[in-house]
């Protein structure tokens, strides 16, 4: 089996699990499974392609102009096998305005606390950000790349784990993300 199919199978399996939770009306499990889907896919790809560490809860200290220090982190901090931080990734089942705003803010604060700026990206299944808001946060310059793995705009009334509203992974989008990760080897 090729690697792309492995990642698509991961997607399909997690969607199926989310659908089974939905049938039991376990909405919290649906939500967490969808989050695990994207984070797990990033972990699989990073491990397969780079072989480094994909760390969560990996806090970076950032210092304000008055000297106050706070710790920040995003969903994944990606390290090479030689333990060099090369990327910061936020993972979302869908990317809406508030998630994009928070990612931009967190990327800004984390990179301020580092000597070498890692790449910053968001990996999401579906787009849910308006065109103007999307461009506004991209214009801030703290998010280097955004990858959407499914086509179309998210509709909360049409969840992709529901067979009636299923969206397949766009193989070209997935391959584009894998190529991005390959560039960090």
Q: How confident is the model over 89-98, as pLDDT tens digits?
A: 999 999 999 9
**Which residues, in sequence order, are CB contacts of 165 under 8 Å at separation 6+?**
155, 158, 159
Q: What is the pLDDT of residues 132-179, one digit of tens each?
A: 999 999 999 999 999 999 999 999 899 999 999 999 999 999 999 999
Q: Where are the domains of the chain?
A: 3-182
SS3 8: helix
Question: Any idea how long the chain is?
Answer: 185
Query: Hey, which bits of 15-59 come out as E strands?
Result: 53-55
Average of per-residue pLDDT values in the chain = 95
Q: Locate tokens 């509709």: which residue?
A: 155
Per-residue pLDDT at 5 exceeds 60: yes
| Phi, psi angles (nearest 5°) of residue 92 | -140, 140
pLDDT band per the 50, 70, 90 thresholds, residue 86: very high
Per-residue pLDDT at 1 exceeds 60: no
| Domain spanning 3-182: CATH 2.40.50 | no
pLDDT at residue 113 in the model: 83
Helix (H) or strand (E) holding 63, with range, is: strand 60-63
pLDDT band per the 50, 70, 90 thresholds, residue 2: confident
Rg (CA), the chain: 17
State the burial class of residue 172 (Cβ atoms within 10 Å of its Cβ: 0-12, 13-18, 19+): exposed
CA distance 77 to 72: 11
């Amino acid at each position: 089996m090729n690697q792309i199919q492995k990642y698509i199978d991961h997607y399909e399996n997690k969607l199926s699990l989310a659908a089974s939770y939905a049938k039991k009306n376990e909405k919290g499990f649906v939500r967490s499974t969808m989050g695990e889907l994207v984070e797990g896919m990033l972990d699989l790809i990073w491990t397969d392609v780079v072989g480094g560490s994909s760390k969560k809860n990996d806090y970076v200290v950032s210092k304000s102009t008055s000297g106050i220090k706070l710790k920040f982190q995003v969903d994944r901090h990606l390290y090479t096998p030689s333990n060099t931080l090369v990327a910061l990734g936020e993972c979302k089942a869908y990317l809406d305005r508030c998630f994009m705003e928070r990612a931009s803010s967190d990327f800004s604060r984390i990179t301020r606390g580092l000597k070498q700026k890692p790449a910053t990206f968001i990996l999401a299944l579906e787009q849910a950000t308006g065109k103007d808001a999307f461009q506004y946060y991209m214009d801030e310059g703290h998010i280097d790349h955004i990858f959407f793995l499914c086509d179309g705009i998210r509709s909360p009334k049409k969840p992709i784990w529901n067979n009636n509203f299923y969206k397949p992974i766009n193989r070209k989008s997935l391959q584009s993300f894998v190529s991005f990760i390959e560039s960090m080897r």
